Amino acid sequence: MEIKDFITKIPKAELHLHIEGSFEPQLMFEIAKRNGVDIPYQSVDELKQAYEFDCLQDFLDIYYQGANVLLHEVDFYDLTKAYLDRVILDNVKHVEIMFDPQTHTERGVSFDVVINGIKRACSEFEQNHGMTSILIMSFLRHLSEESAFATLKSSLPYKHWIKAVGLDSSEKGNPPSKFQRVFEAAVSEGYIPLAHAGEEGPPEYIWEAIDLLKIHRIDHGNRCLEDDKLVDEIIKRDLALTVCPLSNTALQVVKNMKDHPIKMMLQKGLKATINSDDPAYFGGYMNDNFNAIAQALPLTKDDVYTLVHNSFAYSLLDEETKADYLNKLADFNEKF
Ligand code: ADE
Ligand code: ZN
């Protein structure tokens, strides 16, 4: 079977997805219109032309601007439903969705509006399609520790809906150590700690994320490859990396897909996974990410299987559900 066919059909899990980054221009214009909010672009095409990024910050400026049109619970519901409708077509069976409450609460949209909309879409998909989902609340690292603490407090009435906390936004100049205390507080509330580290930031930030924040999984982590001791430590602690190929090339973390280090990561024994990060901005959803990197490197069918296996194995699912998905995955592999 062609690798493309294998990628299309294999059941998958997505572990690194910002729901605000799945906001397609078409839907953005639709919601802007009904909410009476101005978008500083005349058309979907003009907006898409602005999606040229030299670095993470270039992207974040546009990403936060896009999120400005989200005001009501139904907006967050529509946003999440659109993402789930799209990834079900890619044979994605389980998703771990990050949301950035501060992107919205800073604009006066309340925490409950955000989470109720997202959760309603997730629950519907679980009921109607058996698609499982887990929510990860991410703190914006360019904002203060105080703001992160306030966000943590707002989340407590919804603790039963949120499995983990994350750390995202502008990495350079905002080291994990800035959030050590808030992560300690989050862990004591029962949240699993995760963080973006080593996307643009140096290997030292990954050390801080694993030693100070005690994260269970590393979002991106590409720059660990600059430090052999760090690679050994990540393997020893059995921490997976949520790698995002199209994001990496769009944000110039990797100059060319042909140079992407995912194969090297697997060869070193790192538990890499493939994810879309912000699919509406970076040119593709799960299968697009797999296809782009599989063609460029190339990847073998075994590589793709390993990457998908890692996603289920290092998901935040309970052990029983995880085992069920892994059995189905093994059945699929045997048949093809
Ligand atoms: N927020 C959304 N996407 C992000 C990324 N790739 N890195 C950091 N913060 C983000
Ligand atoms: Zn991300």
Ligand 1, CB cutoff 6 Å, lining residues: 18, 21, 56, 63, 168-169, 196, 199, 247, 277-278
**Which residue, by CA, sits nearest to atom 9 of ligand 1?**
169
What's the mean pLDDT in 11-27? 99
CATH number of 2-335: 3.20.20.140
DSSP calls for 298-320: T--HHHHHHHHHHHHHTSSS-HH
CA of 259 to the centre of ligand 2 (A): 20
- Active-site hit among 73, 171, 199, 200: 199
CA of 168 to the centre of ligand 1 (A): 5
Dihedral sign of CA atoms 223, 21, 115, 152 in order: positive
**Which residue, by CA, sits nearest to atom 10 of ligand 1?**
169
Span 268-285, pLDDT tens digits: 999 999 999 999 999 999
CA of 247 to the centre of ligand 2 (A): 8
Active site residue 199: yes
DSSP calls for 102-168: HHHHTTT--HHHHHHHHHHHHHHHHHHH--EEEEEEEEETTS-HHHHHHHHHHHGGGGGGEEEEEEE
Asked whether the predicted pLDDT for residue 137 surpasses 70, the reply is yes
Supply the pLDDT for residue 336: 87
Asked whether the predicted pLDDT for residue 291 surpasses 80, the reply is yes
Q: Where are the alpha helices (DSSP H) in 12-138?
A: 25-35, 44-49, 56-67, 73-88, 101-105, 111-129
Task: Give the predicted TM-score (pTM) of the model.
Answer: 0.98
CB atoms within 10 A of CB 303: 19
Supply the pLDDT for residue 185: 99
Span 52-82, pLDDT tens digits: 999 999 999 999 999 999 999 999 999 999 9
